[in-house]
Amino acid sequence: MPSYEFKLPDMGEGIAEGQVLKWLVSEGDIVKEDQPLIEVMTDKVNVEIPSPRTGRVAKIVAKVGEVISVDQVLVIFEVENVESVSIEHNQIKPEPTQTAKFTRQDIQSKVLATPATRKLAGELGVDIQSLVGTGQEDRVTDEDVRKASGNFATSKTIAAASGTENSHDKQTEVVPLIGIRKTVAERMARSAHTAAHVTHVDEADVTELVLLRNGLNSRTSEEGKNVKLTFLPFIVRALVSALKEFPYVNSMIDDQKQEIALKKYYNIGIATDTDQGLVVPVIRNVDRKSIFDLAIEIEDLAERARTGNLSLDEVHDSTFTLTNIGSIGGLSSTPLVNYPEVAILGIQRIVKKPVVRNESIVVRDMMNLSLSFDHRAIDGAYAARFLNRVIDAIQNPAKLAEKVV
C-alpha cells in the first residue's frame, strides 16, 4: 500500500512553526478524512489540524513537545491512492471549523502546565492529564511530573548530577522561548525599536460610571439576564466616538510604503493575560454593538483566549488596543504600542480619592489612564485631546449605555 507524508500545513498569518501539544490518533489507527488528527500550539493560537484523507497511521514522526516548522513531516499514512491526495491539504488556512475545536487547558478536562512542563512529561512518559498540580492555580510543575515518573531529580539538582553545578545553577530553571511567549517577545522588541513611543497619563472621575454600571447590573439580575457588566464595555464605547473624531489614532504606519493608513472601521484588541502569555483577541465593528453585546463578546473572547480556544481570525486586524492593567493593580503604566498600530490605552484600577469639587474636598472614584502612542504618526497635543475626549465620555456615561441603532 502506498505511503503519504503529511506535513505541517501553511496556516497563513505569518505562522512558521508550532509545538506539538497532543496527538489525537495513534500509530496503527485507521482515520477518516477531516478527522481531528493533532493539536498544535502556534505563536498566535492553538490549532486542531484534521487528517488530509482516509488511511492508516503508519508512523507518527513529530513527537509531543517538539517544535516543528511548516512543511516538516508530521505523520506518514498508508493510503489507497496517494495520487488523489490534494496538495491543498499542505497549504490550508484552517477555517473556524478547523480551529478552536479544542482547548489546550480546558478547565473541566485538562490541566494547567507550561509548554516546557508538557514536553518534560512527554519525555518521561507521564500522562500529564492525570496529575494534580501543586503550583499556583493548581498548575502542574516540573517537580510534579518527575515525582509521577519516579524520577525525583528536580531542576535544582540537574546541574549537580552533571557535575557542572554552582550556587546559581541550583536555583535556575530554563524555559524555552517558544509559542505565544516567543511572539510576544518579538513583537514587543519590534515595537520598541520601531515606534517612537510616548506615554500620556491622565485621570478620569468614574463615580457616575460606577453608579451606572452597578445600577445596570442590578437591573439585569432582577430581570434574570445572564449578563454581568464590567467597566471594559463602557471604555470600548467611549473609545469609538474619540477614534472617529481623531482618526490618526485609529491608523497604522506602513514603514515600507512610508504611508499612514487611516482605518474607517473600528476593531478593538483586548490584551488578555493567559497562561501562555499575552493574547490580543479582537472585537470587530465595536461602533455597531451595544454595551451588553460588547460585554458578552469580551467575556467570551477572554475565556477562550485563556483556554487556548481562539481561531486565527479572532486575533488579527485590530485597529486599536486596550489593556486593562487595573484588574491586577498599579497606579500607572507605559504600555507598548501593538505595532503596526499607533496607539494603545492602558486603564488602571479604580480607587477612591479625595478630590476638589466646587472648592470642597469630596471622595470620588478615580481611574488613571495611560495612552502610549507612536510620535511618528501622532503629536503630543493631538494625543492629549484624544484622551480628553475619551475621559469626557467616561465621565458622562449615560450615552455610552444607549442602544446602537
**pLDDT tens digits for 299-343?**
999 999 888 888 878 888 999 999 998 878 788 889 999 989 999
Residue 105 is predicted with a pLDDT of: 56
In the residue annotation, 197 being an active-site residue is answered as no
CATH of domain 3-90: 2.40.50.100
Domain definitions of the chain by residue range: 3-90, 115-179, 195-401
Domain 195-401: which topology? Answer: Chloramphenicol Acetyltransferase (3.30.559)
- As a whole number, the mean pLDDT across the chain is 83
Cα–Cα distance for residue pair 60/262, rounded to 1 Å: 48
| Cβ contact 62:122 at 8 Å | no
Cα–Cα distance for residue pair 177/183, rounded to 1 Å: 9
Residue 370 is predicted with a pLDDT of: 96
Q: Poorest-confidence range of 14-28, 196-210, 225-239, 329-343? A: 14-28
Q: Active-site residue among 168, 197, 316, 375?
A: 375
71 Cβ contact partners less than 8 Å away, ≥ 6 residues apart: 7, 8, 10, 90
CATH topology identical between 3-90 and 195-401: no
- pTM score, whole prediction: 0.67
Burial class (CB in 10 A: 0-12, 13-18, 19+), 47: buried
Residue 92 is predicted with a pLDDT of: 44
